[in-house]
């Protein structure tokens, strides 16, 4: 489409201009490198999940990644579109979806999730950059509609090969988030919450591993602190102000921050480029919205964890949030707002 425009523009301008166009150099960071960095930053979390849940965590993750790539390849192949698996975005989706699932999730469910993420959420809308929701999160939300998954709870397959094939529905202890929704502090100590505990999805296991990955992304310049910090700060403030069940404010807040998928969501999901605003103001509002919805859903929602739904809800508001544009260069402060107001006044008067 764009090439069409350029060619017609050139036709009426001057045909002498060669096809090469400035700038003649480009920054070394390409889409593939960005995605690779995200994959690298998720490795600690996967490693911790494997340590805690055994080889099954690894097989679930690998299968999820593989299926995402295969689905993406097949879809593009059948529609005779250029293959897009080289940009590694399917790998990231597969990894993130796996980390949202418990290690004991049945394999067929992983497959259904991958299919939904790649085909329905991503490719049907036009592939990378066009989806309006984070594919992994949308798939995770879609999987909530299967009661089988909620029954899985948290299960440990053990360190044996047997664990890979072990049946679903091993004795499930209540996850920390489920306890906290009813206003009780979980039995795990704070250091357990930070460095790893059983229960919940694979990505919820170890807050420290998630922080490590998040710091790597910030250090590499892949994400900036704006979204994660505003998101976490909003959750911190709200949980500090309104602790459930008469618990100690500070303790409650810390458990809320370390528990569940908050860190996974704040560093890896809410910062997803495609489904987050590009303007500074938009990003701040988006993150605050994510935080507010997370606490709301955690306190009053039907499921113990609200992060996934909070983020995909805010994903749908991105187009609106991007309307908060930077101030026009050279224009006086609040000029755009004054103009909008003056139009409003005129309409009122006329």
Partner 1 sequence: MKHNFFGGVHPRDKKSLSRDVAIAPLSEPPVQVIIPMAMHVGEPCTPLVSPGDTVCVGQKIGSTEHLGVSVHASVSGTVTAVELRPHPDGEPVVSVVIGNDFLDTPVAEPESRNVQQLSQQELLDIVREAGIVELDGAGIPIHVKLTGAAGKVDTVIVSGAECDPYLTANYRLMTEQGSKILGGAQLICRMLDVPKATIGVEAGHMDVVQSLRRLAQESGGAEVRPLRVRYPQGGEKQLVQTLTGRQVPPYKLPEDVGCAVFSVGTAAAVYDAVYEGKPLTHRVVTVTGEAIQKPANFWVPIGTPMEHLLREAGGCSGEPECVLTGGAMTGLPQQDLSAPVTKQVNSLVVLPADVCARTVQEPVCIRCGRCVEVCPMHLLPLYIHLYASHGRFRETERFHVADCMECGSCTYNCPGGVPLVQSVRATKHRLRFAARQER
Residues found near partner 1 in the complex (CB under 8 A) = 1-2, 5-6, 9, 12-14, 16-27, 29-31, 33-34, 82, 84, 87, 89, 127-129, 273-279, 322, 325-331
Which residue's CB is nearer to partner 1, number 248 or number 335? 335
Which residue's CB is nearer to partner 1, number 246 or number 332? 332
Which residue's CB is nearer to partner 1, number 247 or number 279? 279
Which residue's CB is nearer to partner 1, number 20 or number 346? 20
Which residue's CB is nearer to partner 1, number 87 or number 256? 87
Which residue's CB is nearer to partner 1, number 27 or number 171? 27
Angle, helices 89-100/31-53, rounded to nearest 10 degrees: 30
R_g over Cα of the chain? 23
Is residue 35 within 8 A of residue 204, CB to CB? The reply is no
Query: Nearest approach, Cβ of 283 to partner 1 (angstroms)?
Result: 8
Query: Nearest approach, Cβ of 50 to partner 1 (angstroms)?
Result: 29
CA trace torsion 104, 120, 118, 170 (10° rounding): 0
Query: Nearest approach, Cβ of 122 to partner 1 (angstroms)?
Result: 12
Is residue 156 within 8 A of residue 53, CB to CB? The reply is yes
Q: Which helix (H) or strand (E) holds 116?
A: none
Cα dist from 277 to 238, 289, 318, 333, whole Å:
23, 12, 5, 22
Burial label for 158, CB within 10 Å (0-12, 13-18, 19+), is middle
Query: Nearest approach, Cβ of 175 to partner 1 (angstroms)?
Result: 33
Which residue's CB is nearer to partner 1, number 25 or number 302? 25
- Residue 194 CB coordination number (10 Å): 16
What is the Cα–Cα distance from 55 to 159, expressed in whole angstroms?
Answer: 6
What is the Cα–Cα distance from 110 to 63, expressed in whole angstroms?
Answer: 8
What is the Cα–Cα distance from 335 to 350, expressed in whole angstroms?
Answer: 22
């Amino acid at each position: 489409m764009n090439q069409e425009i350029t060619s017609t523009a050139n036709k009426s301008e001057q045909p002498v201009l060669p096809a090469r166009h400035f700038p003649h150099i480009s920054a070394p960071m390409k889409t593939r490198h960005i995605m690779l960095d995200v994959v690298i930053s998720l490795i600690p979390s996967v490693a911790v999940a494997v340590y805690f849940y055994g080889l099954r965590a690894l097989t679930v993750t690998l299968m999820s990644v593989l299926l995402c790539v295969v689905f993406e390849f097949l879809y593009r192949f059948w529609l005779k579109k250029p293959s897009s698996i080289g940009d590694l975005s399917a790998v990231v989706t597969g990894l993130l979806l796996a980390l949202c699932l418990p290690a004991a999730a049945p394999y067929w469910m992983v497959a259904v999730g991958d299919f939904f993420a790649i085909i329905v959420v991503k490719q049907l809308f036009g592939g990378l950059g066009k989806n309006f929701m984070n594919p992994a999160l949308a798939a995770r939300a879609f999987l909530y509609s299967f009661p089988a998954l909620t029954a899985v709870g948290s299960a440990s397959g053990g360190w044996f090969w047997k664990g890979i094939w072990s049946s679903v529905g091993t004795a499930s202890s209540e996850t920390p988030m489920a306890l906290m929704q009813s206003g009780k502090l979980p039995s795990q100590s704070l250091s357990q919450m930070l460095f790893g505990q059983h229960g919940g999805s694979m990505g919820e296991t170890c807050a420290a591993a998630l922080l490590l990955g998040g710091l790597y992304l910030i250090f590499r310049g892949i994400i900036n602190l704006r979204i994660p910090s505003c998101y976490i700060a909003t959750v911190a403030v709200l949980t500090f102000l309104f602790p459930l069940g008469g618990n100690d404010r500070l303790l409650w807040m810390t458990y809320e921050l370390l528990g569940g998928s908050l860190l996974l969501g704040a560093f890896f999901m809410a910062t997803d480029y495609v489904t987050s605003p590009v303007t500074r103001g938009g990003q701040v509002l988006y993150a605050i919205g994510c935080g507010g919805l997370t606490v709301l859903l955690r306190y009053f929602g039907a499921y113990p964890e609200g992060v996934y739904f909070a983020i995909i809800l805010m994903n749908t508001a991105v187009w609106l949030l991007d309307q908060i544009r930077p101030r026009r260069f050279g224009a006086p402060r609040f000029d755009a707002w004054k103009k909008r107001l003056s139009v409003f006044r005129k309409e009122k008067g006329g």
